[in-house]
């Protein structure tokens, strides 16, 4: 009697435990699998590049992202990802039950499997074309593969590998997920580090937002049904900005030790982007357009990092100063730049990009946040 009751209680506990704590792990079924995505396409910058920039001529192979310590943790080799390991898009692909996305640039020469999607993101890329930025006296130092070029790549790829006629595309892409961004962050990064004022930055927002929305519209018009458009990070929390704008004025920082004015600017971009997404959704009721809230995902990461005692201020890979960051001696730039021994305990990998652990935690929040909005329960 007592033993049977004990069994019932323990069985109940196991069931409850699986329901509430370990369901995805126990069954290996992430809720995102309900969407039955069969392809993922990614446009963007270093937050999601899985190997395009390092294959670009002339600069790519010479960037630090083509060498260790980039990639040291997961791949034990540099893949072109701007981190020690996996990125958010990798976690998203895994959650969808799909293989990691091959970079577009790798496709010529190797027989990569493009059945489940392609990654067009290029580290250093901007939303606005380089010549448009140049007209504002902003120079794009790493790549000219801005969002419009990535869109061209995508259309070329889709038209030659997936579908030819509109009807064909609509059918073939109905279970595809499109990630349009994060993109636009570099337009502002370059402007700020090239001496533009906050006013000048704010004046760029309408053009940057319109360019991102135009790309999403093109994606929907070729047949995309589910589109996620991520916003910008709270850039005032990143070591690169905290180093460049370090100040003794304590009122310049918020409670999380992030620079207020830069975070306010990121919020402004994100608000304008969300308004434009809302309008796009009204124009295109047959598609689902979701805002990817990287800002809040980052704040969630900050909370987790605090409770788990991560290093929140310093970059793992870098050297010098309060934040282990020096613009002229960045991660991968030479022998005297160190790497922390425990990147799992750091949020920032190189002062600009996050560690794999940081991206993993952000991706978990993001997936939970966007999944219900994707309306996958057909
Ligand atoms: C590391 O990557 C390079 C190309 O990026 C490749 O040539 C090399 O074989 C890889 N090394 C290992 C150990 O996988
Ligand atoms: C981008 O294009 C401009 C103008 O054609 C060129 O001068 C510059 O070198 C290019 N930048 C890169 C990184 O390829
Ligand atoms: C902050 O204050 C310290 C001591 O008062 C001074 O040495 C330092 O230069 C100041 N730093 C900045 C960035 O103003
Ligand atoms: C960054 O490194 C350069 C070159 O080693 C050095 O001259 C400079 O003082 C460093 N800057 C800071 C803020 O530590």
- Measured CA to CA in angstroms, residue 163 lies from 40, 104, 171, 187 at distances of 15, 17, 9, 33
pLDDT band at 106 (very low <50, low <70, confident <90, very high): confident
Please report the pLDDT score of residue 365 as a whole number: 98
DSSP assignment of 118-155 equals EE---TT--SS-HHHHHHTT----S----HHHHHHHHH
Mean pLDDT for the stretch of residues 93-116: 85
Residue 24 counted as domain residue: no
Rounded Cα distance, 230 and 347, in Å: 20
Q: Reduced to 3 states, what is the DSSP secondary structure of residue 43?
A: strand
Q: Does 343 reside within a domain?
A: no
For 353, counting Cβ atoms within 10 Å of its Cβ (0-12 exposed, 13-18 middle, 19+ buried), the class is buried
Token pair of 177, please? 């997920």
Average pLDDT, the chain: 93
Bridging pattern class, strands 317-318 and 311-315: unpaired
For a ligand 4 pocket test, name from 321, 326, 331, 334 the mutation site with the most ligand atoms within 8 angstroms of its C-beta: 326
Q: Whose alpha carbon is nearest atom 3 of ligand 2?
A: 144
Give the confidence band of 377 by pLDDT, cuts at 50, 70, 90. confident
Active site residue ranges: 46, 350, 353
Query: What is the predicted pLDDT for the residue at 23?
Result: 47
Residue 28, pLDDT score:
61
Opening angle at CA 357, ends 353 and 363, nearest 5: 80
Which atom in ligand 2 lies closest to the alpha carbon of residue 56? Answer: 14
Residue 112, pLDDT above cutoff 80: no
Tell me what pLDDT residue 152 has. 98
Question: Which residue has the least CA distance to atom 12 on ligand 2?
Answer: 143
Residue 121 has pLDDT above 90, yes or no: yes
Residue 16, pLDDT > 90, answer: no
pLDDT band at 29 (very low <50, low <70, confident <90, very high): confident
Q: Could you give the angle at the alpha carbon of 286 between the alpha carbons of 283 and 289, nearest 5°?
A: 70
| Intra-chain end-to-end CA distance of the chain, in Å | 46
- 19 pLDDT above the threshold of 90: no
With beta carbons less than 8 A apart as the criterion, state whether 334 and 366 touch. no
DSSP 58-114: TTGGGSGGGSTTTTTTTTSS--S-SSSS--HHHHHHHHTT-PPPPBGGGTTTS----
Q: Is residue 319, in this structure, part of any structural domain at all? A: no
Q: Which ligand is nearest to the CA of 72?
A: 1
**Which one is predicted more confidently, 86 or 14?**
86
Number of helices (H), then strands (E), belonging to the chain: the values are 12, 9
Q: Residues with Cβ < 8 Å from 361, sequence gap 6 or more?
A: 300, 301, 304, 305
Domain range enclosing 97: 31-311
Per-residue model confidence (pLDDT) at position 277:
98
How far is the CA of 17 from the CAs of 2, 26, 52, 349, in angstroms?
Answer: 22, 10, 42, 34
Asked if the structure places residue 204 within a domain, the reply is yes
Residue with the larger pLDDT of the pair 353 and 29: 353
pLDDT over threshold 60, residue 180: yes
Q: Is the CB of 247 under 6 A from ligand 3?
A: yes
pLDDT at 22 over 50: no
Task: Tell me if 281 is assigned to some domain.
Answer: yes
Would 186 be classed as within a structural domain? yes
Average pLDDT over every residue of 266-275: 98
Task: Please work out whether the CB of residue 4 comes within 6 Å of at least one atom of ligand 3.
Answer: no
Residues 258 and 347 sit within 8 Å (Cβ to Cβ): no
What pLDDT shows up at residue 15? 44
Say yes or no: CB of residue 146 within 6 Å of ligand 2: no
Task: Examine residue 367 and state whether it is found in any structural domain, yes or no.
Answer: no
Strand order in the sheet with 226-230: 117-119, 39-43, 176-180, 226-230, 288-292
- The residues, any chain, with a CB within 8 Å of residue 202's CB and separated by 6 or more, are 265, 268
Q: What is the DSSP letter of 334?
A: -
What is the count of structural domains for the chain? 1
User: Could you tell me if the CB of 23 is within 6 A of ligand 2?
Assistant: no
For residue 113, the model assigns a pLDDT of: 81
CA torsion through residues 90, 96, 97, 98, sign: negative
Please spell the DSSP secondary structure of 165-200, one letter per residue: SHHHHHHHTTTEEEEE-S-SHHHHHHHHHTT--HHH
pLDDT at 83 over 60: yes
In the beta sheet, which residues pair with residue 229?
Answer: 291
Whichever domain contains 243, its CATH number is 3.40.50
The pLDDT value recorded for residue 109 is 58
Place of tokens 């939303």: 127
Percentage of the chain beyond pLDDT 90 is 88
Query: Is pLDDT at 14 greater than 60 in this prediction?
Result: no
Mean pLDDT calculated for residue range 301-314: 97
Tell which atom from ligand 3 comes closest to the C-alpha of 246: 13
In a domain, 22, yes or no: no
pLDDT category, 13, cuts 50, 70, 90?
A: very low
């Amino acid at each position: 009697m007592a033993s049977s009751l004990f069994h019932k209680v323990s069985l109940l506990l196991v069931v409850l435990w699986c329901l509430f704590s370990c369901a995805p792990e126990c069954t290996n079924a992430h809720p995102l699998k309900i969407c039955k995505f069969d392809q993922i396409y990614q446009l963007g910058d270093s937050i999601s590049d899985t190997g395009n920039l390092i294959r670009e001529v002339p600069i790519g192979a010479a960037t630090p992202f083509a060498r260790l310590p980039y990639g040291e943790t997961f791949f034990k080799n540099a893949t072109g990802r701007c981190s020690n390991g996996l990125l958010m898009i990798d976690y998203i692909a895994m959650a969808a039950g799909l293989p990691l996305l091959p970079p577009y640039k790798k496709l010529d020469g190797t027989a990569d499997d493009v059945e489940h999607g392609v990654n067009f993101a290029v580290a250093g890329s901007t939303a606005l074309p380089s010549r448009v930025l140049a007209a504002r006296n902003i120079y794009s130092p790493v790549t000219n593969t801005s969002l419009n070029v990535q869109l061209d790549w995508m259309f070329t790829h889709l038209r030659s590998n997936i579908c030819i006629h509109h009807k064909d595309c609509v059918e073939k892409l109905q279970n595809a997920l499109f990630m349009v961004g994060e993109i636009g962050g570099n337009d502002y990064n370059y402007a700020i580090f090239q001496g533009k004022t906050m006013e000048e930055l704010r004046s760029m927002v309408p053009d940057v937002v319109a360019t991102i929305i135009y790309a999403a519209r093109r994606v929907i018009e070729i047949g995309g049904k589910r589109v996620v458009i991520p916003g910008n990070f709270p850039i005032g929390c990143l070591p690169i900005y905290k180093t460049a704008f370090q100040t003794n004025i304590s009122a310049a920082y918020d409670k999380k030790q992030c620079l207020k004015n830069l975070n306010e600017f990121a919020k402004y971009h994100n608000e304008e982007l969300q308004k434009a997404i809302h309008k796009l959704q009204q124009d295109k009721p047959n598609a689902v357009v979701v805002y990817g809230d990287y800002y809040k995902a980052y704040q969630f990461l900050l909370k987790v990092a605090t409770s788990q005692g991560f290093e929140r201020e310093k970059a793992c890979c870098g050297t010098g100063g309060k934040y282990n960051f020096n613009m002229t001696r960045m991660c991968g730039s030479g022998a005297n730049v160190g790497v922390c021994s425990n990147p799992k305990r750091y949020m920032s990998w190189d002062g600009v990009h996050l560690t794999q652990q940081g991206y993993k935690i952000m991706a978990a929040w993001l997936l939970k946040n966007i999944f219900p909005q994707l309306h996958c329960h057909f």
